[in-house]
Amino acid sequence: MLFNSAIFITGFLPIVLLGFFLFAGNGRQRLAGLWLTLASLVFYGWWDPQYLPLLLGSIAFNYLLGGYLLKRPSRLVLGLGIAANLLLLGFYKYTGFLIGAAEDAFGLGWEAPSIVLPLAISFFTFQQIAYLSDAHDGAVVEHDFLNYCLFITFFPHLIAGPITHHREMLSQFGDPENFRPRSDNISVGVTLFVLGLFKKVVFADPMGVEAAPVFAAAQAGAALPFLDAWGGALAYALQLYFDFSGYTDMAIGLGLLFGISLPSNFNSPYKAHNVIDYWSRWHMTLTRFLTAYVYNPIVLGVTRRRVAAGRPLPKRGRMDPGTFLALVAYPTLLTMFISGVWHGAGWQFVAFGLLHGFYLVVAHGWRALKAQWGWKLDSEKAIHKVPAVALTFFCVVIGAVFFRAPSLEAAFTMLQGMAGLNGVMLPTSFARIPGVEPMAGLLGIALEPGPFFRPVLGLQIALLLAFCWLLPNTQQFMGHYRTALGWRPSMAWAQRALPFATWKPGVGFAVAIGVLGFFAMAKAMSAAPTEFLYFQF
């Protein structure tokens, strides 16, 4: 069931809200929690009921194992529990890819099986691994089966995140105040949901329509001209941005309707001034999980081995190359490799992860050098920040090509076109712009009817990039009210000059959001709903 589908908006959500308010309004917190859990299982099973036993089995296994680890911490049992979760994920997600890779490499005559990836398995697997790890460390403070089931299955975040942490969710499920219907939660939640739906169907989906044929042509081996290749890459970068941003807004809004704050997962990542900053803004809960449960343990293990070998740790602000490789480069590359293969089974995802790992190593290395030289690490001056944001965005778009391409070959075909190796040409419609035709002649640029890029697409891309870079995000727009869990967004520059850039309850905003909602609903109902991009992970 999709958030942008008619059955969800006009059927499932009103029924679940009504039942929740009936139970919660009468002080029956446990019944309200049970109702939400059952509704979440219906939501999950709507896609394919045969995978419900898999989800329920995973929940029961990890709950029981977590209870055991709370009473008898054992590194062996923890390791076996994590391995069981990873084997389940690996079977469904990577079996076909690994068999296909072995067949390509050795010609063993193996045929890759057709295995359907269960929805949300990547997300609920990571959540439960964190629960087991914290149970072993004694960091789990509540072990209630109903609340644990709701923690894993809560439908606003079940399919595509945010990747929630047991500590932040179980405490909310245990607080009766969160189950009391509140008008402010409802108004903020509905507003966030409408804004997210608008982003999805009005911004993201049309960009996906533009990007799809370009990447299909690259997969077919077509020699894409410069503008066609860049048009497809930028269209996909914007589709991914608004699709994931829209889902996050809708998820947080839905959570608030039930009195639950979900953690922030998206904070204007295209405004990032380096790739370190980018990963602190993009899929923030995935970054949080990988940092806490992958990166930090690797660094801790390396540090312990160095101390045991009598090798001193680096002084603050100074790090020799060997120490930098051991404590920064190696853990970063391994963590981003895991991030890449978590997103998908394919060499293009391996390349995506390693490329971002390389970006991060370079960024950390440059910051280490600046610290050693006594330079200021970050500058807020426009003359420094604008080029930094532009360079970061360029690197992210290159990475997005691997993220979207059906194969490594298609990604390299796209990059070849983006590098101008297939030539540069302008659509013939550009000839109507005064001065363009003689300038193109001087530069040797042909005016031909390109297969994909059109002036209107260039205008759409420019407007959406301006939207990303200049306007406040929804967390900033709603910044005076409770939205994401514990989130206090900084004010965007536009909010200081434009009073309508900050949401307040009132007739004007109600009418504006209503109009946006009307157009978003009309567009959503006019065609079959499209899946969110992160559903495939």
Residues designated catalytic: 343
CA-to-CA distance for 159 and 530, rounded, in angstroms? Answer: 14
Asked if residues 403 and 346 have their Cβ atoms less than 8 Å apart, the reply is: no
CA-to-CA distance for 189 and 524, rounded, in angstroms? Answer: 19
For tokens 């859990």, the residue is 37
Q: Which residues make Cβ contacts (< 8 Å) with residue 127, sequence separation at least 6?
A: 151, 152, 163, 164, 165, 166
Asked if residues 513 and 191 have their Cβ atoms less than 8 Å apart, the reply is: yes
CA-to-CA distance for 101 and 345, rounded, in angstroms? Answer: 11
In the DSSP assignment, the letter for residue 292 is I
Q: Please give the helix or strand (H or E) that residue 216 lies within, else none.
A: helix 205-219
CA-to-CA distance for 418 and 229, rounded, in angstroms? Answer: 5
Kindly tell me the number of DSSP H helices and DSSP E strands found in the chain: 25, 2
Asked if residues 225 and 119 have their Cβ atoms less than 8 Å apart, the reply is: no
Would you state the structure tokens that stand for residue 326, as one six-digit string?
Answer: 């051991």
Q: Which residues make Cβ contacts (< 8 Å) with residue 182, sequence separation at least 6?
A: 259
Nearest to 32 by CA among 140, 164, 175, 188: 175
DSSP-assigned letters across all residues of 12-78: IHHHHHHHHHHHHHTT-HHHHHHHHHHHHHHHHHTT-GGGHHHHHHHHHHHHHHHHHHHHS--HHHH
